[in-house]
Structure 1
Amino acid sequence: MTSEPSLTKALKAQAKMLGFADCGIARADAHDGRMPLGDWLAAGHHGTMDWMEGRADQRAAPQGLWPNARSVIALGISYAPAEDPLRLADESSVGRISVYAQGADYHDVVKRALKALARWLVETAGGEVKVFVDTAPVMEKPLAAAAGLGWQGKHSNLVSTGHGSWLFLGAIMTTLDLEVDAPHPDRCGSCDACQRACPTDAFPAPYRLDARRCISYLTIEHKGPIPHEFRRAMGNRIYGCDDCLAVCPWNKFAKNAAANKAFAPRAELAAPELADLLALDDPTFRQVFAGSPIKRIGRDRMVRNACIAAGNSGDARLVPVLERLAGDESEVVADAARWALAELSAPLSAG
């Protein structure tokens, strides 16, 4: 039996009150056939993200993770930026951090709101619930599309007519049979702006992302040396990349989410100086990035990324610190520093 429409109406009102920009409901057996997970994994497009492959059976559909689930409540919180995410492209002395990571850790913010909504639902209608935000084998983007929040664009991320490409996604699974929403139609049309914007040609086809070529993957998920073929294309990007998201025409309808102060850019993360990043040791890294999703990549990956940005900067003033880093205990840091020195046409240190 499906729930009364009055319950879903009240649920969506409660979600809005808790700060969610959008809320929709899908069946727990919902699938998105456009980009089958198995095909993506078989092509190796997940790179070294072995955790994607390890629990693929659970990730493929909600009931694979929780067989008792009957409905999935898909939710989005806007993080639309106040300024152009691409404005620092030519500022070679600073590092570019993806918009989503410049404020508080979205995992904490979204999960707190999800738990509050889940408690309300149980108190109001009973049933069992589980909440998810990017930390379990749940395909949030296809579920959000199935629940009518938007569609997976040609850049593979969710696009919303009201919020553009700027939604943090979360999900609540429940044993309740809730009234479902219609899936959202694809409205990319003939637009290929996101495909053309990618600096590393990470889209082998529309709606398909090869993570191995994606700067977000390379700077965040990839633990080893950045492949040489992508280093110059990285420019001054040190954590993630917003290019394909930022050029989406639907962003013109997105309202700035500055009202959610949790996502307001922290001053030290909006445009960090490369010189400061190159000087980071582990304790200072932990201090600077406390409460940020950036903290999880650790000092070595961040300094590795900053070294590559330094090599692309043309700034000879960074040579002394790069010479020290060429002898760093971390080989990924030392390798990136040596490459940067070569790019700056400076002599390598004896170390």
Structure 2
Amino acid sequence: MKFVCSKQDLVGGLQIVSKAVPAKTTMSILQCVLIDTTEGVIKFIANDMELGIETIVNGNILDRGYVAIDAKIFFDIIRKLPDNDVTVESTNSEGNIKVTISCEKAKFSILGRSGNDFSYLPDIERIDGIEISQYSLRQIISQTIFSTVENESNKMMSGELFEVDGETLKVVSLDGHRISIRKIILSQSYEHKSVVVPGKSLSEVSKILTDSTESMVKIFFTDKHIVFEFEKTLIVSRLLDGPYFNINQMLSSDYETKVTISRKDFLDCIDRATLLVKEGDKRPVIITIEDDFLEMKINSAIGAMDEKVDIVKQGKSLKIGFNPKFLIDALRAIEDDKVDIYLVNPKAPCFIRDANESYIYLILPVNFTTID
């Protein structure tokens, strides 16, 4: 195998597929990237058996073939080469595979491995998929992914529900203390589909996506896999097996208190309060809701903070405690200038949602009776 490619294109391709290279594994072949030029294109593939990524890199193929190379070593070499064309060539002598990488006056020789040992991406029939912009998919992941958690006793908490219903795509995550829900309207109507995607896979997908509203992503669903196809890249992730939580049972439209508040003012206030909280300290912020203002207090070993923010209130006055991080995560994921917060009592969850329920953030309160 032999091909010539610009350093920039090589780096771009390796940055994409490296998302599927595990940091630690007992199978050393999984720490390799497969370079395959047998089909007349330069294809990079990485696969950790849960997440597989394949991308096509521009270049000139001089001799077709395939070889597996240690991904980290290969990437480190390419990044430090001059900004020029790079020639990559593999030779096989009596079963010993050597890969030569040359650029201008620099030349490296490293060991390669047979591509026969590598696990290609599963061959999945891609039919009846949905289409969404890269921007929208990246946004909807970033606005919910923080509510996933690695939980050995309940793997579903480590994934996100992707549910398609007609023209609506709903993404849901929860970690036992909060629920994040985002809905977006698709360009056309689709049949109902519901799968649970590992949060780790979605996190890596979001790192590859761009903020382009013009470039589209096709998403295909099967019983065991979800496929993301865009530009010259194909991503395949295994699904989590089993039913997701009954989210509708956890949601309520009842409330005793409704607060409308400037999102930025509320976020800045909580942000200032956390200056007095050491990392790992789960001390809550205490929020008192009165007629025209919301008062926030926090007391810690470092000091105390007390601040008031103007609000518009409907219903009863209320005093309630929250983990400040949960409020910050939700508010940072919302783009509206003002947010509506719905509350029932100091022991019931609060809901932050808009009128169309395109986003819903449920946050459980914290018992503060022994703290305040």
TM-score interval w.r.t. the shorter chain?
A: under 0.3
Higher RCO (Cα < 8 Å, 6 or more apart):
1
TM-score computed with the length of structure 2 as normaliser? 0.24
TM-score computed with the length of structure 1 as normaliser? 0.25
Relative to total residues, which structure has the larger helix share, 1 or 2? 1
